[in-house]
Structure 1
Amino acid sequence: MTGHQGGTAHTQGHDHTDLDWNVLGPHLEQGAELSGPVHRQAAEWMRERTGRAVRRILDVGSGPGVVSCLLAQLFPEAEVVAVDGTEELLERTRDRAARRGLTDRVTTRYAELPGDFASVGEADLIWSSKTVHHLGDQRGAVRELARLVRPGGVLALAEGGLPLNCLPYNAGLGRPGLMARLEVVNREAFTAMREALPDSVETVDDWRAMLTEAGLDGATSRTFLLDLPAPLDTPPRRWLQAELGHRCGAAADRLAGDDLVALDRLIDPDDPAGIMRRSDVFVLSAQTVHSAVRTG
């Protein structure tokens, strides 16, 4: 189970041994760093919502640990446990914590969900980003997470929002609307992924209702905007170039030929119309966070 905060290369249901984590790990870490303003705003909201001292935090589906380390910095009295089902990403978390002097407060826990829910223990704050939707029974997963929340504590689920956009509607490459068509393909692939999960249950994505049904109170949602205007600096351009490369590879059998040609040009570092050279590239997306409190 890997939530991959800040990235879109979901791997739930895959054999993790067929993935090149030397490539995917840095990409996920860079994406999470790029989304740092969103994660910080969401974490500060969680700090406002907690009704007790935060001594233990679970980052469930922690990926490379970017948010785990951020939570440790924003909650200086707390132990943060990064929970993930990919050992290569947990190693990146440990390395990141060491570089930031957080080794004594950021620890890692290997766990395959949903089977290992009980093994991670209780916490005052549980953060889970883009992870529950990788589990067949989403409602059941929310119930399991809610059971781990201590009285006065908060469960926060980062699920949904607005898709990534990075180009004008007419980008001068083939037919206008390339990013919209790519998102349609991405949503179709997401639906197929959900249907193929073990014990998959069709569930309406009413996250506040799921939090309430799980016995938590005050369920509410907020959406946080990531807005990096043009012209982009080099690091986000490189991340975006790699991200579109991943998406192009995943969608190659679903996109029309002219769209594939356009994507190939976009990820070509030497093409004047590519991500690395054009002046109109931006990053715009939004992440919705749903949270609720255990009052009893």
Structure 2
Amino acid sequence: MSRPQETAVYTHGHHESVLRSHTWRTAANSAAYLLGSLKPHMRILDIGCGPGTITADLAELVPDGHVTGVDRSPEIVERARATAAARGLPNTAFAVADVHALDYPDDTFCVVHAHQVLQHVGDPVQ
């Protein structure tokens, strides 16, 4: 059963302590399994991008590609945009989105990455 976006639960919220722990995340420490498979032209979706630190690292690794970061919170998406802008990464985009209802056609991305997303949603099986 699909859960409407407005009732989906982000269990940890966006308290500053949660964001602080997410800010230390990098592609090296949170997506190391993926790094050897990336090619410069790839298009990547980073689900639950949080403050954008992993998204920005991935964008540096695909300079001829593009990385889209999505998160449920408009405030967090703005923080992620600021992270990418501060690092001078024009090959990034960010959007507010619900992991349960992503609005991207099949084959839009070469890689879809999610780090710590399932622990944050009320119904991870969905």
2:10 maps to which of 9, 12, 26: 12
Summarize deviations over 1:140-177 as a string: whole Å, max 9, x none.
4xxxxxxxxxxxxxxxxxxxxxxxxxxxxxxxxxxxxx
Does the alignment pair 1:48 with 2:36? Answer: yes
Q: Which of structures 1 and 2 has the bigger CA Rg? A: 1
**Aligned-partner SS, 2:70:** strand
Summarize deviations over 1:82-116 as a string: whole Å, max 9, x none.
111000000001111111111x21111111231x2
Partner of residue 73, structure 2: 86
Does the alignment pair 1:63 with 2:50? Answer: yes
Q: What TM-score does the superposition give when structure 2 sets the normalisation length?
A: 0.73
Question: How far is the alpha carbon of 1:127 from its aligned partner?
Answer: 0.8
> Which runs of 5 or more structure 1 residues have no equivalent in the other structure?
1-10, 141-296
2:24 maps to which of 4, 28, 34: 34
How many residue pairs get matched? 115
More strand by share: 1
Summarize deviations over 1:231-259 as a string: whole Å, max 9, x none.
xxxxxxxxxxxxxxxxxxxxxxxxxxxxx
Matches within 5 A, 1:1-296: 12-13=10-11, 24=16, 28=19, 30-36=20-26, 39-40=27-28, 43-49=31-37, 54-102=41-89, 104-114=90-100, 116-117=101-102, 119-121=103-105, 122-133=108-119, 134-138=121-125, 140=126
1:76–1:45 distance in 2 versus 1, CA, 3 Å: farther
**Separation in 1, partners of 2:54, 2:25:** 10
More helix by share: 1
AA aligned opposite 2:34: M
Q: What TM-score does the superposition give when structure 1 sets the normalisation length?
A: 0.34
Question: How far is the alpha carbon of 1:125 from its aligned partner?
Answer: 1.1
Summarize deviations over 1:56-98 as a string: whole Å, max 9, x none.
1000011111100010012212211011100000000111111
**Quick check: 1:43–1:74 contact (8 Å CA) kept in 2?**
no
- Which structure has the higher relative contact order (CA within 8 Å, separation 6+)? 2
Summarize deviations over 1:251-277 as a string: whole Å, max 9, x none.
xxxxxxxxxxxxxxxxxxxxxxxxxxx
Summarize deviations over 1:207-237 as a string: whole Å, max 9, x none.
xxxxxxxxxxxxxxxxxxxxxxxxxxxxxxx
AA aligned opposite 2:99: L
Question: How far is the alpha carbon of 1:41 from its aligned partner?
Answer: 5.2
CA RMSD, 1 decimal: 2.7
Aligned-pair identity (%)? 24
**Separation in 2, partners of 1:69, 1:111:** 18
